[in-house]
Amino acid sequence: MNQFFAGAALIAAIATSGCAHAVDPELARAISAIKAIDNHAHPVRPTAPGDKVDDEFDALPVDSLEAQSDPIRQRGKSPIVTAAHTQLYGSGTKADVMKAHPSDYATWVLDRAGIETMVANRVAMGPGLPAPRFLFVPFADALMFPLGTAQLIKNPDQRAFYPLEDKLLQRYYTESGVPGKPATLGEYLAKVVTATLERHKKSGALAEKYELAYLRTLAIGNPTRAEAERAYSGSTGGGDYTALQDYIFRYIALECGRLGMGVHIHVAHGGGGYFNTSWANPMLLEPLLNDPALRKTNFVMIHGGWPWTREITPLLTKPNAYLDYSEQLSFDTPHNVAEALRGWLAYVPEKVLFATDAYPFSADLGWEEAAVVASNASREALGRALTAMMRDGEITRERAVELATMVMRDNARKLYGLK
Ligand SMILES: [Zn+2]
C-alpha cells in the first residue's frame, strides 16, 4: 500500500463511520491529510526474533495488573482493531512487514497512521525509533521517592507498580554516577534530580512525564524546605514523606521550566481495577497552575482529564496549561469525545493537542494498531466537533480547517518549539 492509500483509508474511516453526515466531507478530507504531531504515545522498539524484547515503553506497564472489567472498546477482536490491522498490513502479517522494513519499520507505521512526529513517552529511547520522527519524554515519578516505596503499598496494583519506581530510581542513581541515596536533600536534588533532568534534556527530552495518579493523589502541597529536609534525613520516622514528595515535585517543575522542558501529567481515570479516580481530578492541579513561581513551566494534562472533561476547561485559561485528548478514544466514542472537544475549542483552542496514547495493549492491539485506531477516531471526533460548530454558525469551514491544523500539529509545534 502506498501513502495515498493510507490517506484514503483515513478519509473513509472519518467520513463513513457513525452517522453519515456527522463530519462535513470537505472538512474530513482536510483533517485526514494533516500530518500530525502525536503528543503522547508508547511506541515499542522493533526487535528481530530472538532479540531481547523491548520493555521500556512504559515505566508502569499495566499488563502486570489484576484483571479488571475492560471497557468494550478495549476488548480484543473488536471490529475497529481488525480494521486498523487491515489499514496497516492489508492481507499480509505484521511479521512480513517487519521483515520487509528492517531499518524503517516504526516510521513506516507512522506514515500509515498519518503521523509525522510521535512524542514517545518511554523510560529510554533506542535503535529503531529515530529522531526527529520520534521524540522523547522520560519519567520523573521515581525521583519523588528517595525514601523507598514499600511503606506506601496499599493494594495489589501498587504492589506491582511501586517496586518499578524503586528500580527506575536505582537506574537514575547509576546513570548519575551516585552509589546510593546521598546524605542530604541538597546533594540528592543536585546530584540525582538535576543531574537526571539535565541528562534527559541533553538526550533531546521535550518534557518529563508523571504517572503519579497511579500511585498517590495529584494534590501537591507546598511544604517548606525545612519540612522536606526533616523527612529526607529523619531516621526517627518523624518526617512527613508526602511533604518531601511534594517538595521534590515542585523542585522538578521549576527545573523543567529552567531547562525549557514541559511537565506531562497523567490526568484521567487509569488502568487497573484499583485505580483511585478521585486522585486524578484535574482541579487538584489548580494550586500548581496558580503558583507564580511555576509560571515558566508548561504543564500538559495528558488524556484531557476524563471524566472531568468539563471541569478541566477553565484551567486552559492558565497561560502555562495545556491538554491532550489521548486515551479517551480507546474507551469512549468519537461522539462523546467530540462534545468535550467542542467545549475546549470554543474556549481556548490553542491549548488543545492531538495524541494517540498508542500502547502495546495485547497481541491483537499492538502500539501500531492502537496508533491507527486512535488517529482515525481522534480525527473523527475533531471533525464531528468542528462540523457541529460550523452548522451552528459559530465558525466558517475555513476556520474549522485552521482549528483542526492547530490541534493536529501547530499547537504542539509551538509548545515545544519544533520546526
Ligand atoms: Zn500513556
Question: What b/e string do you get for 358-388 counting C-beta neighbours within 10 Å, with b at 16 or more?
Answer: bbbbeeebbbbbbbbbbbbbbbbbbbbbbbb
Query: What local confidence, expressed as pLDDT, does residue 14 receive?
Result: 56
Host H or E run for residue 168: helix 156-176
Find the 265 Cα to ligand 1 centroid distance in Å.
10
Q: Is the dihedral of CA 387, 391, 394, 399 positive or negative?
A: positive
Chain segment 272-294, per-residue pLDDT in tens: 999 999 999 999 999 999 999 99
Residue 25 · residue 15 · CB < 8 Å: yes
Three-state DSSP state, 318: coil
For residue 273, how far is its CA from the centre of ligand 1 (angstroms)?
A: 17
pLDDT at 8: 54
d(CA 397, CA 406): 14
How many A from CA of 231 to the centre of ligand 1?
31
Look up residue 189 and give its amino acid: L
Residue 4 CA to residue 12 CA, distance in Å, equals 12
Residue range of the domain that includes 307: 3-416
Q: Report how far ligand 1's centroid is from the alpha carbon of 121 (Å).
A: 7
CATH number of the domain residue 144 falls in: 3.20.20.140
CB 55 within 8 A of CB 416: no
C-alpha 366 to ligand 1 mean position (Å): 14
Give the residue ranges of DSSP H helices in 260-410: 286-289, 328-331, 334-345, 367-391, 397-405
Say if CB 387 and CB 400 are below 8 A apart.
Answer: yes
Phi then psi for residue 191, to 5 deg, are -85, -20
| Distance in angstroms (rounded) separating the CA atoms of residues 289 and 295 | 7
Tell me how far the alpha carbon of residue 308 lies from the centroid of ligand 1, in angstroms.
Answer: 18
Number of domains in the chain: 1
What are the average pLDDT values for consecutive 10-residue runs of the chain, which has 419 residues? 49 54 94 98 92 92 85 81 93 93 96 98 96 98 97 95 97 97 97 98 98 97 96 74 97 98 97 95 98 98 98 98 95 95 98 97 92 96 98 98 98 97
The pLDDT, as a whole number, for residue 150 is 95
Distance 280 CA to ligand 1 centre (A): 14
Per-residue pLDDT tens digits for 174-202: 999 999 999 999 999 999 999 999 999 99
